A and B are shown apart, each in its own frame.
Chain A
Amino acid sequence: MNQAETPAIRIAGMTVRYGRRVAVDAASLEVPRGSVHALLGRNGAGKSSLVRCALGQQRASSGSAEILGQDSWKHRTHLMERIGVVAEEADAPPEMRVQQLADFNARLYSRWDGKAFDARLDRFGISKQPRYGDLSKGQKKQVSLALALAASPDLIVLDDPTLGLDVVARKSLFEEVIADLADRGTTVFLTTHDLAGVEAIADRVAIMNGGRIVLDEELETLKARFRRIRFSAQPLALEAASFRTALVRSWGAGTEAIVSNYDDLTFERLRSSATVQSADVSAMSLEEIFIAVAGEGTKS
């Protein structure tokens, strides 16, 4: 298989156990090169364990993880050079000044781009004088992102990059990622709770729930197949249509259903069935789909 065909990340049948607790349960996932892949899940769904194992920072109990076609545990030292990581709790020695951090990183990475680092800090409005420990939470994230991107990585992994950031900082962080994508085609893999922020930039989305990957597909396909349907009849009327439902509940005197295999023809069949006087269909945002799939007390 040539370089272009091997995915940036490939996880196959990965299980991670902590004692008797199963954090990741036979998860499989692929991140195609040049894509923006968002991994979504509620707190405790297993995202961080999966990301750490994917990066070779932790060893999975079973299954495999490959990055750019190489086993991420065996080749983790060599792969470090090609991956940029912005961890959930962005961390660097608090005593080091930003300039010292940059010098230190420049020695670690052969493809270090000092000009790009300086330009990013300028855009963020951060000087290279202060000590890392004196920066605000948002500035720490921005410095970590600038350090990660300056190493010209093939793959950048962002673990909840916008956590704790205000609206302005969030916007500038996503803009930097978008710009880098356009310039160099870097593959981006991120976990996030900022569904509205990621909706416009993600190509693919995976949702994790209770350690399992419940879906992994193109965002456009996902949004095309999910719809909210409201109709003036009892849930029984759904039997006229071959819809798979993620959620069915009463809505006023009628029924609300979230279907995961929507098509117009089946909807027309439902609408024209004898007991249904009126039926209405609406598109769903990524956030609404996420709640339907990973929310409490639902099945996917």
Chain B
Amino acid sequence: MFDINATDAAPIWRQIEEGMRRMIALGALKPGDTVPSVRDLAQQLRVNPNTVARAYQRLTEHGVFAVRRGEGTFVADEPSQPKRSERNEVLRDASVRYASSAIAVGASLDDAVDELNTSYDKLVREHRRKV
């Protein structure tokens, strides 16, 4: 599935939300697919079930997941993508942190861009392998 880093500054529910969106964006989870139950995912990631429930609730509210009563939770038929403005905001926040780390260790902009390319490719490849 994906990994949770409990020592990360980002709250765990946000990491789960992001992980799910990433799986959908990369095609590892497709529209109509069943998503793991809260209980199973909590046990698998070894996190508090309330935290998983919180992430699922947000994903449902945002139209990424759909709940069918009595059947469970599914990826929505047309999972909504974040709005352009939201996407830009997320990218800006994350890039400020990344740029700050890069400058702190004395990396050039080219070095930083190379690393970003490598990580992007690696994540995409890893997901493809799991499909």
**Contact pick for B11, options A36, A220, A278, A285, CB 8 Å:** A220
Residues of B contacting A183 in the complex (Cβ-Cβ under 8 angstroms): 39
**Among residues 253 to 293 in chain A, which have CB atoms less than 8 Å away from a CB atom of chain B?**
278, 280-281, 283-287
Distance of B48 from chain A, by nearest CB (Å): 5
- Count of interface residues, chain B, beta-carbon cutoff 8 Å: 22
How distant is A130 from chain B, measured CB to nearest CB, in Å? 27
B18-51 vs A: 1/0 string, CB under 8 Å? 0000000000000000000011001101111111
Q: B46 to A175, Cβ gap below 8 A?
A: yes
Chain A contacts for B46, CB-based, 8 A: 171, 174-175, 178, 200-201
Give chain B residues whose Cβ lies under 8 Å from the Cβ of A178.
42-43, 46-49
* Residue among B4, B8, B12, B48 facing the most chain A CB atoms (10 A cut-off): B48
- Asked if B8 and A181 sit within 8 Å, CB to CB, the answer is no
What residues of chain B lie closer than 8 Å to A35, measured between beta carbons?
A: 50
**CB closest chain-A residue, reference B10:** A283
Residues on B with C-beta less than 8 A from A280 are 100-101, 104
- Distance from B96 Cβ to chain A, minimum over Cβ atoms (Å): 9
Shortest CB-to-CB span from A171 to chain B, Å, is 7
Given contacts A175-B46, A178-B46, whether A283 and B8 have CB atoms under 8 Å apart is: yes
Inter-subunit contact B12/A200 (CB<8 Å): yes
- Rounded to whole angstroms, the CA-CA distance of A246 and B48 in the bound complex is 28
B43 contact set on A, CB distance < 8 A: 175, 178-179, 182
State how many angstroms separate the Cβ of A22 from the closest Cβ of chain B: 34
CA distance A171 to B50 in the complex (A): 19
* Contact partner, B48, options A203, A283, A286, Cβ 8 Å: A203
Knowing A175-B43, A280-B104, the reply to whether A182 touches B49 (Cβ < 8 A) is yes
A199 contacts partner chain B, Cβ-Cβ < 8 Å = yes
- Determine if B39 and A285 form an interchain contact, defined as CB atoms under 8 angstroms apart: no
Measured between alpha carbons, how far is A186 from B50 in the docked complex, in Å?
11
Set of chain B residues within 8 Å of A200, measured between Cβ atoms: 4, 6, 12, 45-48, 51
Number of A-B contacts (CB under 8 A): 62
Which residue, of B43, B45, B101, B103, has the highest number of chain A Cβ atoms within 10 A? B43
- Is A196 positioned at the interface, with any CB of B under 8 Å from its CB? yes
Central interface residue in A178, A220, A284, A287, by most chain B CB within 10 Å: A178
Q: Are B42 and A199 in contact (CB under 8 A)?
A: no
Interface residues of A in 147-197 (CB under 8 A from B): 171, 174-175, 178-179, 181-183, 196
Pairwise interchain contact B9-A283, C-beta atoms closer than 8 A: yes
Complex CA gap A179/B45 in Å reads: 12
Report B41-85 CB contacts with A as 1/0, cut-off 8 Å: 011011111110000000000000000000000000000000000
Residues on B with C-beta less than 8 A from A199 are 6-7
Q: How far is the CA of A283 from the CA of B9 in the complex (A)?
A: 5
**Residue of A175, A202, A285 touching B7 (CB-CB under 8 A):** A285
How many Å from the CB of A115 to the closest CB on chain B? 17
> Which residues from A are CB-within-8-Å of B7?
196, 199, 283-287
A199 to B103, CA, bound (A): 30
**How many Å from the CB of B76 to the closest CB on chain A?**
23
Nearest-CB distance from A167 to chain B (Å)? 12
Task: Determine how close the nearest CB of chain A comes to the CB of B68; give it in whole angstroms.
Answer: 20
State whether B9 touches A179 (Cβ < 8 A). Answer: no
B6 proximity list for chain A (CB < 8 A): 196, 199-200, 285-286
Q: Which residues of B contact A287 (CB under 8 A)?
A: 7
Contact assessment for B49 and A278 in the assembled complex, using a CB-CB cutoff below 8 Å: no
A281 and B104 CA atoms in complex are apart in Å by 10
Q: State the CA gap A178–B39 with chains docked (Å).
A: 8
Chain A residues closer than 8 Å to B39, beta-carbon distance: 179, 182-183
Q: List 23 A-B contacts (CB under 8 A).
A: A35-B50, A174-B46, A175-B43, A178-B42, A178-B43, A178-B47, A179-B39, A179-B42, A181-B49, A182-B38, A182-B39, A182-B42, A196-B6, A200-B4, A200-B6, A200-B12, A200-B46, A201-B47, A201-B48, A281-B100, A283-B7, A283-B8, A283-B9
